[in-house]
Structure formats: C-alpha cells, structure tokens
C-alpha cells in the first residue's frame, strides 16, 4: 500500500461532487430554485411597479428587495435538496458503502456540506444577480419608471446576501438530515424551523422576556442581511447573519457528534 492510495478530505470531496452531479434531481432542483427566484422576482417587480405608479406603494427599500424576493421561496427547494443529499443515502442504504469507504466518517459530512454548500452559493448567487437585473429592468421600463442599481447603497449586500443566506440554509439542511436521517422528518424540521417558527413567534407578545425574541430566530436573523436599510425590529445585517451562522454551526456540530457515535443501519 502506498500513501497515494489513502483516503484524504480532498478525495472525499471529489467523491461527493461525483455523487451530487450524477443524480438527475440535483440540476433539476437547482434549476427550479433558480427559475423560481428569477420568475417570481420578475412578477413581483412588475406588480410592485404597477402599485407605485397607481400610488398604492412607495418605492423605498422595495426597489432593491422586491426583485430578489423569490429567494425566500427558493430556500424551501434548497432545504429539500440539502436534506436529500444526506437522507437519500439512508433510504437507499448507500450510507453503509459511503462510511465503509471513509470509516472516520466526518470527512463525509464535511465533504457533503462543502460540495452542496458551494454549489448552492454559486448557482443561487448567479440567480440572484440575474433576478435583480431583470427585476430592475422591468421596473425601469414600467410607467412608474423607477429602479435601483448595484450602485444603490445596500444593493450589493442584499443581492449577494441571497446566495449567502441560501448557503447557510443548505448547510442547515445537510446538518438536520444527518441528525434526523429520514427524508420526511428532516424536511419537517427544516421547514418548521425556517418557515413555521417565525409565524408562531409573531403570535407571542412583543415584549416577552423584555425583548422581541423573534428577531433571534434563525431565518429571521439571517434575513436581516436582506434588508438594505437598518430597521428597528430586526438585527443589524451582519449580526443577524452571524446569529444564523451560529445556529447552523451548532446544528452541524451536533450532526458531527451523532454521525461519529451512532451505529449505521440497524441489522441484527
């Protein structure tokens, strides 16, 4: 045996990249997410411009945020795909083969997170810029004749923030699925934390515990990055993003701990 044939983190990343791109669901799902982001952004931009011209809305921050608002829909698609990257191995039984090839196990988790995370970051950042460009063009050519550009203060942060936010959603989904293992259960947790929790929290009294706790919820905190101007009831953009990142990091550590510890498969 020569050292050139051993398992390395880089090799496991290569392996996970092969796995990710050799199933049809990956390009399909990422394509749906990108189309949803651009398509929804276009429709919302058109409708927003109409409401401005009819005096029902004022331009304000919406000039930047409306074209990329489809990113919030994309998060569910990204969440589902991130879950499948891991839970698919458990339902198909390939997790045994994957962990037999890499018995130290953690390189597999890091590789899945890195490969899927970077893929999402790249594709969704690109989609966000396209959505922003098309949305602004639609608003600009409308009767309202309003638009923002990347030179508008806060615009670059919001547009790149979509990709960064979805990057954390992707890592969160991979971590949750490593903990939960079943597809249905993992999707329920991801959707529950990102989408249902903020709705539930809005039902609580605003002054609970002396502060509005809803701003500290994962997706609410993370979405602070997607506001061009500072608002009173949300965290500062990068603080909020860091808080979301902290939640994801803790979830990932729990996932790593359980992946190391637990038995794979329950054959008796």
Partner 1 sequence: MIEAKSLTKRYGDRTVVDDLTFTVQPGVVTGFLGPNGAGKSTTMRMILGLSRPCAGSVTVNGRPYAEHQAPLREVGSLLEASAFHAGRSAIDHLRALAATHGIPRRRVVEVVDQVGLEAAAHRRAGGLSLGMSRRLGIAAMLLGDPRTVILDEPVNGLDPEGIHWIRNLMKDLAATGRTVFVASHLLSEMAQTAQRLIVVTRGTLVADTSVAEFVERASPARVLVRTPQAARLRELLAGPGVTIAELPEDRLDIGGLTSDQVGEAATRHAITLLELSVRQPSLEEAFMELTS
Asked if 11 touches partner 1 (CB under 8 A), the answer is: yes
Q: Of the ranges 19-27, 69-77, 136-144, 185-193, which one interacts with partner 1 (CB under 8 A)?
A: 19-27
Per the CB < 8 A criterion, the answer to whether 213 and 204 are in contact is yes
Sign of CA dihedral 27, 29, 33, 38: positive
Q: Which is nearer to partner 1, 99 or 239 (CB)?
A: 99
- Structure-derived torsion over alpha carbons of residues 217, 177, 113, 95, reported in degrees to the nearest 10: 170
Measured from the CB atom, is 102 or 139 closer to partner 1? 102
Among 88, 133, 185, 198, binds partner 1 (CB under 8 A): 88
Which of 60, 93, 153, 192 contacts partner 1 by CB under 8 A? 93
Q: Which C-beta is closer to partner 1: that of 104 or that of 143?
A: 104
Q: Is 49 in the site for partner 1 (CB under 8 A)?
A: no
* 119-134 b/e (C-beta count within 10 Å ≥ 16 → b): bbbebbbebbbbbbbb
Q: CA-to-CA distance for 193 and 76, rounded, in angstroms?
A: 11
Provide, rounded to whole angstroms, the least separation between the CB of residue 15 and partner 1.
4
**How many residues at the interface with partner 1, by CB under 8 A?**
37
Distance between CA atoms of 71 and 51, rounded to whole angstroms?
21
Cα–Cα distance measured from residue 240 to residue 186, given in angstroms and rounded to the nearest whole number:
24
Nearer to partner 1, 9 or 53 (CB): 9
**C-alpha to C-alpha distances, 36 to 110, 138, 255, nearest whole angstrom:** 28, 17, 30
Does position 265 interact with partner 1 (CB under 8 A)? The reply is: yes
The yes or no reply on residue 27 touching partner 1 (CB under 8 A) is no
Residues that bind partner 1 (CB under 8 A): 1, 3-8, 11-12, 14-16, 18-19, 22-25, 88-89, 92-94, 96-97, 99-104, 261, 263-265, 267-268
């Amino acid at each position: 045996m020569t050292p050139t044939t051993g398992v390395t983190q880089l090799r496991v990343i290569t392996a996970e990249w092969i796995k990710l791109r050799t199933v049809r669901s990956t390009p399909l799902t990422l394509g749906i997410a990108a189309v949803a982001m651009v398509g929804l952004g276009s429709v919302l931009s058109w409708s927003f411009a109409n409401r401005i011209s009819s005096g029902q809305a004022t331009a304000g921050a919406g000039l930047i945020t409306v074209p990329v608002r489809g990113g919030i829909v994309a998060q569910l698609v990204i969440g589902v795909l991130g879950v499948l990257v891991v839970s698919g191995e458990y339902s198909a039984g390939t997790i045994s083969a994957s962990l037999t090839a890499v018995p130290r196990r953690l390189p597999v988790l890091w590789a899945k997170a890195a490969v899927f995370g970077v893929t999402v970051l790249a594709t969704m950042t690109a989609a966000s810029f396209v959505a922003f460009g098309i949305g602004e063009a639609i608003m600009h050519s409308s009767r309202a004749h309003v638009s923002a550009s990347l030179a508008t203060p806060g615009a670059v942060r919001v547009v790149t923030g979509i990709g960064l936010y979805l990057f954390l959603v992707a890592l969160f989904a991979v971590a949750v699925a490593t903990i939960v293992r079943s597809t249905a259960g993992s999707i329920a947790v991801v959707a529950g934390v990102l989408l249902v929790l903020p709705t539930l929290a809005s039902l609580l009294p605003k002054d609970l515990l002396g502060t509005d706790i809803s701003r500290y919820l994962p997706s609410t905190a993370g979405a602070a990055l997607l506001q061009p101007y500072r608002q009173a009831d949300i965290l500062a953009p990068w603080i909020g993003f860091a808080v979301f990142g902290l939640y994801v990091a803790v979830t990932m550590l729990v996932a790593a701990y359980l992946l190391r510890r637990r038995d794979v498969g329950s054959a008796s």
